[in-house]
Amino acid sequence: MPVSPATPRGLDGVVAAQTRLSHVDGQAGELIIGGYQLKELAGRVAFEEAAHLLWRGALPSRDELAKLRREIAQLRALPEETMRVVRAAARTPPIDALRMACATLSLDLAHPDDISPAADMAAAKLLTARFPTVVAAHARLSVGKQPIGPRPDLPLSANFLYMVHGKEPDPIAARAIDAYWVTVIDHGMNASTFAARVIASTRSDMVSAVTGAIGALKGPLHGGAPGPVLDMLKEIKSADRAEAWVRNELAAGRRIMGFGHRVYKVRDPRADVLSKVADQLGSAALENRNLFDLARAAEQTILKVLEEVKPGRNLRTNVEFYTALVLQALGLEPRSFVATFACGRVAGWCAHVIEQHAEDHLIRPQSEYVGPRGLTIGGD
């Protein structure tokens, strides 16, 4: 039985909370993070600064940033219980390994059920510190290598690449992953953030809420598919083949990866930021400069064909398109892209949990019953 027009599917258009954390304007192509346009933050502040902005409501002073970096650096190493889970999950998808590992991190909290502001802040720092360590350790274990322990002298982003590759990264590469994490740190009331807030609204703890958020992110309708963008470009092969390729895909009813967004009706502002990040990596840092040049040319062709074949659909470039290029340029495997995204988004999830705990109101929407009525159990 169809849902009545008065009942929005998937809570479309329903305002579920008030937040100071981020605002998405799909018509204007605008993303505001803690009062700042995304372009004011990404590439201009460090990830730890953006996390402080969401957690505390303001960018940190120099001393506050130094203190936060020290605290996070001291928390990066994984406890043995968590490392055992990561090792056991070596053959599972990275996002599954991260979900399982995240759930164990409450074992390392003195009072895991404490949802006071101080406890929430401590848990936020712990999760933000350890997500990159989990993802890097799993990346190495999945290819038969041993994990590399974190270095407290490196910033969070540079340390992540060090733990993945076993060598101190080029500063340009470290700045790229840092800018990427700032770009994806928060994005309105998306599915994983809403999941985290629903869990937090029951007065459940930070680790439980973030574990639930990872479960929501895993779904392909939310976590997206930046990896298949690379497959698409490899199939296209050259700029002169792009138009014929995209027309064939559309004729077959297949989705063009990296284009279209549930909210944005214009170009995703995160795509603009990451396009510049990829360009700034330069030919020395990119593993395949030809792929980037192909992407630039193919993007314009795809946009032209989409507008012609699907007029009015507003299928513009989204964050997945340039995410794929940036992360592959840094030597990361496509299977780890969603888990790497979570390393940036975790700071936003934690901020929403902090905000929801402060509000202390159970999220309990109603549903419209569309089943049968008046059934009886027949007798003799």
Strand arrangement, sheet containing 22-25: 22-25, 30-33, 36-37
- Beta-bridge partner residues of 33: 22, 36
Sequential DSSP letters for 228-288 = HHHHHHHHH-SGGGHHHHHHHHHHTT---TTB--SS-SS--HHHHHHHHHHHHHHHHH-S-
- CA 20 centroid distance within chain: 19
196 token code pair: 């985290």
Among 52, 138, 187, 261, the active-site one is 261
What are the CA-CA distances from residue 146 to residues 87, 142, 336, 338 (Å)? 10, 9, 17, 22
274 token code pair: 């990451």
- Are 179 and 96 spatial neighbours (Cβ–Cβ below 8 Å)? no
Among 320, 352, 355, 357, the active-site one is 320
- Are 341 and 293 spatial neighbours (Cβ–Cβ below 8 Å)? no
- Beta-bridge partner residues of 37: 32
Residue 320 bears catalytic tag: yes
What are the CA-CA distances from residue 322 to residues 66, 120, 231, 325, 326 (Å)? 31, 33, 13, 5, 6
**Taking the C-alpha atoms of 112, 56, 22 and 336 in order, what is their torsion angle to the nearest 10 degrees?**
-50
- Are 153 and 99 spatial neighbours (Cβ–Cβ below 8 Å)? no
Residue 40 bears catalytic tag: no
- Beta-bridge partner residues of 22: 33
The 3 state secondary structure assigned to 77-100 is: CCCHHHHHHHHHCCCCCHHHHHHH
Dist. CA 113–CA 79, nearest whole Å: 19
DSSP 30: E
Which of the residues are catalytic?
A: 261, 320
